[in-house]
Amino acid sequence: MSVLLSFGHGYSARALTPLLLAQGWEVIGTTRTEAKAEVLRSEGVMPVIFGAPIDEALSRATHVLTSAAPGEAGDPVLSTYGDALRRGLRPDQWVGYLSTTGVYGDHGGAWVDEGTALTPSTRRGQMRVDAEAAWRALADQTGAALHLFRLAGIYGPGRGPFAKVRAGTARRIVKPGQVFSRIHVDDIAQVLAASIRRPNPGAVYNLCDDDPAPPEDVIGHAAALLGLPVPPSEDFASADMTPMARSFYAESKKVRNDRIKDELGVRLAYPDYRAGLAALMRQDGTTAQEG
């Protein structure tokens, strides 16, 4: 039996889970609370409280996925389980690390791909660069087949602009030339599944859709779908924003996704935000008239 051990079994890993369970896999996922563990059990996942011994689960795992974000102290999975991973990972074992396109930094709206130099302009981006390097070092030590997945902005069920638009709290911050890339969580799941089918040790993949777009366009389209007024535009330079919110606008780039298509044969279910938001509307059973 194929067994996935998933560290930090959150939003993206939970989207992958039903694809694997349908193929007869076992999925083991770490989480930090008993309440979350109970949710994972209800989804067919065997939970392990993060920090508990992992050797037995690791000995059974055929594949390993890590989704936990690094902090100032480094990668939490390596800090907690580094010794166990060095003992337990096997040569050519598939390992996936979910990183972000923030590792590329700011490119003034220009295109980047997997060969672009890593020049993060935020502390969060630098921590991701450091975490990627730490996982590469672990792969070099163990011979494990590491795959890096650099994710653009994630949206999907429960994560989208509709709630804020309905509540009247959505903002259309306009910064000339600003573009972001995005990815629907279902497309993250299908890319991970495709990589598992076609492992390529050392590979790096950008996970994003085909249509980098200004953030204000997405909010405006969501409002139009709901039949609600489009929030007024606000100039970035003078907008009242928290330092964290403002930091998201520090980088502007368009991310290429050719490799997931050419190498893994992926056909995106949601190639742009319009298709993705329309699907979320259907899943919610919402129509513009109801909005």
- Domain-by-domain residue ranges, the chain? 3-156+181-210+253-270
Average of pLDDT values for 219-239?
A: 96
Q: Check whether 34 has a pLDDT greater than 80.
A: yes
pLDDT in tens, 172-190: 999 999 999 999 999 999 9
Question: Residue 287: what pLDDT?
Answer: 41
Rounded distance between C-alpha atoms, residue 206 and residue 196, angstroms: 16
Q: Would you say 225 and 276 are in contact if contact means Cβ atoms under 8 Å apart? A: no
Question: Residue 124: what pLDDT?
Answer: 93
Q: Would you say 28 and 4 are in contact if contact means Cβ atoms under 8 Å apart? A: yes
Q: How far is CA 251 from CA 107, 238, 248, in A?
A: 7, 18, 7
Rounded distance between C-alpha atoms, residue 162 and residue 155, angstroms: 11
Q: What percent of the chain has pLDDT over 90?
A: 95
Q: What's the whole-model pTM score? A: 0.95
Q: Check whether 290 has a pLDDT greater than 90.
A: no
Q: Which fold has domain 3-156+181-210+253-270?
A: Rossmann fold (3.40.50)
114 burial (CB, 10 Å; 0-12 / 13-18 / 19+) is middle
Flag the least confident range among 134-148, 199-213, 240-254.
Answer: 240-254
